[in-house]
């Protein structure tokens, strides 16, 4: 009888302990997100590889050469996605050959433990951080990049800590000037302005890349109106800009007033306006802009207008003496007025927009370049853990459909 009572008491204690543990820890460990099937994404197409090569790597390589960064580090702010393809590409094509350490700060919202794609990001970071040319302090930060635009936010402080950067790459799937779905988050304009404010303390040149949708559905109406007004204003106030615009669009008779929005399509108006906003903000912050290139392509593979633009701008420090409202500051050799600086830095923008690289058309007509992009992209995706043996068939299927559409 005593043995039975002791056994019952032990079972009750064990059951009580199990209940306490269950109340504390729950029913068991949260299952780790299942690994998703790794199908190819729209940004895996050869057109994106062309942008990586002909715009990003080219401009970064020139900057690294001009700044003589060999043996030093390259500081890079990016929105890398889960595969970190831009980081891999820049590391292999620019940093490794020049013996430069790539120190990156990335922003990605898909890094929480509950996100199904989080294992992919962890795996990508693990493989990238082990590359010889990657700085050990590199990191993908778990946050919405737009929050950088909120002064004193954790994101703002994180950028401030690592700034200034040699390159900022705002590579978006959506629209830089799109309709904001949440009033509690700053927009991309605010984020970029905050970054340029941090960059104004740099004593070296740096690059800005922006990739964004530019179709009507991806641009807020108010932002669109403002950007068009900026393009019109620089045309009306800067003779060099107006002359370049007339040459680019083949305008012989300039006697009558010109409305920019009537002579360019919606996408071109967006490119002109966005670039003008960036240049004007840079001038106010003591930065001098040199617009390098525009590249456009389509999100899909059928016929239609290009709806994505990738632009590259190189900045250099151009410190300004702030005006003294009391008139006590003596300025020797006064710098040009801000309006004159904006005019000088904007004068070639119309021609660059008009002569932009139309990537889909280029790859459709240049077989060797198309093949080179396939091979380079296949190698990059293979390093990121994709089945590269399936890549060519995936590309060619869409390529054939695209050719049939044209």
β-pairing, 101-108 vs 73-78, is parallel
**DSSP classification of residue 95:** I
364 inside domain: yes
CATH classification of the domain holding 173: 3.40.50.150
State what percent of residues in the chain have pLDDT above 90.
Answer: 72
5 inside domain: no
67-99 per-position pLDDT tens digit: 999 999 999 999 998 999 999 999 999 999 999
279 inside domain: yes
Contact 289, 178 (CB under 8 A): no
218-230 per-position pLDDT tens digit: 999 999 999 999 9
4 inside domain: no
Domain that holds residue 237: 42-318+334-392
At residue 361, the pLDDT reads 94
344-391 per-position pLDDT tens digit: 999 999 999 999 999 999 999 999 999 999 999 999 999 999 999 999
At residue 13, the pLDDT reads 47
94-141 per-position pLDDT tens digit: 999 999 999 999 999 765 555 666 667 777 788 899 999 999 999 999
Residues 249, 263: Cα–Cα separation, whole Å: 8
Token pair, residue 76, equals 């890079």
3-state percent helix, strand, coil for the chain, nearest multiple of 5? 50, 15, 35
Q: At what angle do helices 188-199 and 154-162 cross, to 10 degrees?
A: 30
397 inside domain: no
State phi, psi for 144 to the nearest 5 degrees. Answer: -80, 125
**DSSP classification of residue 132:** T
Overall domain count for the chain: 1
Token pair, residue 161, equals 């800590």
Q: At what angle do helices 367-383 and 391-405 cross, to 10 degrees?
A: 140
134-188 per-position pLDDT tens digit: 999 999 998 999 999 999 999 999 999 999 999 999 999 999 999 887 778 899 9
In terms of residues, how long is the chain?
Answer: 406
CA-CA distances (angstroms) from residue 349 to 125, 210, 244?
38, 16, 8
> Model confidence at 193, in pLDDT bands (50, 70, 90)?
very high
328 inside domain: no
| pTM exceeding the 0.85 threshold for the entire prediction | yes
Q: What is the average pLDDT score of the chain?
A: 89
3 inside domain: no
Sequence-separated contacts (24+) of 375-378 with Cβ below 8 Å: 376/49, 376/53, 377/44, 377/45, 377/46, 377/48, 377/49
75 inside domain: yes
* Edge-to-edge strand ranges of the sheet holding 308-317: 139-142, 101-108, 73-78, 167-171, 206-213, 308-317, 287-297, 357-358
Cis omega (within 30 of 0) for bond into 164: yes
Residues 49, 51: Cα–Cα separation, whole Å: 5
Q: At what angle do helices 221-237 and 266-284 cross, to 10 degrees?
A: 70
H-helix or E-strand containing 39? Answer: none
């Amino acid at each position: 009888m005593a043995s039975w009572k002791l056994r019952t008491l032990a079972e009750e204690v064990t059951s009580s302990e199990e209940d306490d543990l269950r109340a504390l820890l729950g029913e068991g460990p949260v299952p780790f997100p299942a690994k998703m099937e790794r199908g190819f994404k729209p940004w895996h197409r050869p057109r994106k590889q062309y942008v990586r090569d002909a715009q990003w790597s080219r401009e970064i390589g020139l900057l690294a050469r001009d700044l003589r960064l060999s043996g030093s580090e390259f500081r890079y702010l990016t929105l890398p996605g889960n595969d970190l393809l831009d980081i891999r590409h820049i590391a292999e094509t620019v940093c490794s050959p020049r013996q430069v350490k790539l120190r990156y700060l990335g922003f990605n919202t898909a890094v929480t433990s509950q996100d199904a794609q989080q294992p992919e990001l962890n795996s990508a970071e693990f493989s990238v951080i082990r590359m010889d040319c990657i700085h050990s302090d590199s990191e993908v930060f778990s946050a919405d990049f737009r929050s950088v635009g909120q002064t004193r936010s954790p994101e703002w402080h994180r950028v401030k800590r690592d700034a200034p950067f040699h390159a900022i790459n705002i590579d978006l799937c959506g629209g830089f000037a799109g309709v904001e779905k949440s009033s509690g988050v700053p927009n991309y304009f605010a984020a970029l302005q905050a970054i340029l404010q941090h960059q104004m303390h740099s004593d070296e040149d740096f690059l800005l890349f922006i990739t964004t949708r530019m179709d009507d559905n991806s641009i807020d109406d108010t932002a669109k109106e403002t950007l068009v007004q900026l393009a019109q204003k620089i045309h009306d106030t800067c003779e060099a800009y107006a002359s370049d615009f007339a040459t680019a669009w083949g305008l012989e008779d300039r006697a009558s007033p010109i409305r920019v929005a009537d002579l360019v399509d919606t996408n071109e108006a967006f490119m002109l306006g966005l670039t003008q906003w960036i240049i004007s903000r840079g001038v106010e912050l003591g930065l001098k802009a040199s617009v390098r290139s525009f590249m456009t392509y389509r999100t899909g593979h059928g016929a239609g207008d290009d709806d994505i633009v990738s632009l590259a701008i190189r900045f250099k420090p151009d410190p300004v003496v702030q005006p003294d409202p009391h008139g006590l500051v003596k300025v020797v050799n006064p710098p040009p007025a801000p309006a004159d600086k904006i005019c000088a830095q904007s004068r070639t923008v119309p021609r660059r927009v008009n002569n932009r690289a139309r990537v889909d058309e280029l790859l459709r007509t240049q077989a060797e370049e198309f093949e080179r992009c396939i091979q380079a992209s296949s190698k990059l995706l293979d390093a990121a853990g994709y089945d590269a043996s399936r890549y060519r068939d995936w590309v060619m299927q869409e390529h054939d459909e695209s050719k049939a559409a044209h």
